[in-house]
Amino acid sequence: MAAVTTGVGLSLDTLRRLPAEARPAVRPDDLTPGILHLGLGAFHRAHQAVYTEEAIAAAGGDWGIVAVAPRSREVVDRLAAQDGLYSVVTLSADGAAPRVIGSLAELRRAADDPQAIVDRIADPAIRVLTLTVTETAYRIDPAGRLLLDERLRAELTGSAPPASIPALLTRGLLARAAAGAGPISVVCCDNLHANGARLRGVVEQALAVAGGDLGPGVSFPSTMVDRIVPATTEQTRQLAEAGLGVVDLVPVAGEPFRQWVIEDCFPGGRPAWDLAGAVLTSDVAPWEALKLRVLNAVHSALAYLGALAGQQTVAEAMALPGAHQVLSRFIAEDVAPTLVAPDGQCPIRYGQAALERFTNPAIGHRTIQIAMDGSQKLPYRLLGTIADARAAGGRARWAALVLAAWMRFVRGVADDGSALPLDDPLAERLRASLVGAADTPVGLADALFGVEEIFGPELVGDAPLRTQVVEWLTDLDRYGAAATIRSLGGTL
Ligand code: CS2
């Protein structure tokens, strides 16, 4: 791949150099802010920011985005140097197509001045607040209970500046209620089950500590968000420059597919996201379950089984002989019976389409990236399936294999003996549970099933499930992940 050559940076002044098809549909300096977004990672820029840009281009409205990075200075500085502009490089078998997005109207870093974010949330111009901050940032356990520590308590009561997401949000909404700034919708765009209700629960529990209430006109619509967005690499930057003819320091990569299903409950109005392809509906729950339990669960399965088998990317893991068959059985036998399909959707066909998306070799999505934060992701992606399947008398055989793969991953050694990184907010707790445990399938299962904050009392006490996981752990121990899947594939 050629090294960076032009030296000319992306900005409003250099837009005319771009090929017409790569230019933004709106300009940040033409926009009036109406949305505040918390979490300036790649996913927001490749998903909601694109929908919002297209919605404004289609129907107008004061919906520019005030984009807030909680802590990262680099992304804010670089975007600011580019007047808020960046490109999304769409990666498919046909090649790479960058397009510049213009919906980020204002950039801020919360850690620089948290009070400024609180004030902005209380600004009547802001009528929608969106979040992509990862499952971990909400500070809740799988049952939705707020994990209150002294620090968070101090942030909520005002004796410390609001650094965490629950505190920024709650203090912002309290300031808004005090200012009588009018209705607002708070939209969680993270992969949590019932994410609207979950976020409302976070705020309500935080309010009980902070004192005060929200006042009328605050809604928490649920959403299902979907687009595969791998981490930006040097190659992404080179592909962006090759297509744009100028240097973009903060491009993001994404697959061609994207989907956004939104509960249509916006008392303060919303952009015409429907004109950008979003589905506005009264009930997001079936969509959300479909996506989390099929797509995200299979993603995690590929991450753990693939990492154990030494595969760097999801596409490589998909190419393991037997992977397609095993994952198809997981979807059809374990997951589909637990779902109420949304109108017009068939979980099996949806699953096959997800498997197809995972074979896209241009994405290069790293198994280790998806393997992160398993303790926070698995309850939503996998454990609900297991609990529902077992309650209905099912075995959840394939789901137990995925759980076993996660346990082997937590143990930290790939099948070729190399070390696997445990990047997880519960890493210490998980490691501590393994200290003194026998390094055998039974020892591993007993240790990790004991982590009740992940499994909850029902699954902790489910002896047949544990036996099944031990059987899979024994296979993984004896034959490794690749051979286990291959032999299963051969018999299916
Ligand atoms: C992935 C998701 O990192 C992960 O855990 O499973 O980010 C996934 O790529 C998105 O949910 C796709 O919409």
Higher pLDDT, 452 or 76: 76
Q: What is the pLDDT of residue 461?
A: 87
Q: What is the pLDDT of residue 6?
A: 66
> What's the rounded mean pLDDT across residues 217-231?
97
> What's the rounded mean pLDDT across residues 341-361?
95
Q: Is the CB of 296 under 6 A from ligand 1?
A: yes
Q: Is the CB of 378 under 6 A from ligand 1?
A: no
* Closest residue by Cα to residue 407 from 364, 450, 463: 450
> What's the rounded mean pLDDT across residues 272-287?
97
Q: What is the pLDDT of residue 361?
A: 92
**Looking at ligand 1, which atom is closest to the CA of residue 377?**
5
Ligand 1 mean position, distance from CA 158 (Å): 35
Q: What percent of the chain has pLDDT over 90?
A: 93
Q: Is the CB of 120 under 6 A from ligand 1?
A: no
> Does the pLDDT of residue 3 top 60, yes or no?
no
Q: In terms of DSSP bridges, do strands 95-101 and 279-281 run parallel, antiparallel, or are they unpaired?
A: unpaired
List strand residue ranges (DSSP E) for 110-183, in order: 128-131
**Strongest mean pLDDT among 2-6, 134-138, 304-308:** 304-308
Q: What is the pLDDT of residue 215?
A: 86
> Does the pLDDT of residue 492 top 70, yes or no?
no
Average pLDDT, the chain: 96
100 vs 175: CA distance, rounded Å: 35
Ligand 1 mean position, distance from CA 326 (Å): 20
Q: Which pTM was predicted?
A: 0.95
> Does the pLDDT of residue 47 top 70, yes or no?
yes
User: Comparing 1-5, 349-353, 422-426, which segment has the lowest mean pLDDT?
Assistant: 1-5
Q: Is the CB of 191 under 6 A from ligand 1?
A: yes
Q: What is the pLDDT of residue 1?
A: 44
Q: What is the pLDDT of residue 7?
A: 86
* Closest residue by Cα to residue 127 from 85, 66, 200, 78: 66
> What's the rounded mean pLDDT across residues 319-333?
97
Ligand 1 mean position, distance from CA 370 (Å): 7
Q: Is the CB of 227 under 6 A from ligand 1?
A: yes
148 vs 139: CA distance, rounded Å: 8
Integer angstrom CA distances of residue 151 from 13, 109, 127, 289: 45, 20, 29, 33
Ligand 1 mean position, distance from CA 301 (Å): 12
Q: What is the pLDDT of residue 204?
A: 97
Q: Is the CB of 127 under 6 A from ligand 1?
A: no
Tokens (6 digits) for 78: 């670089």
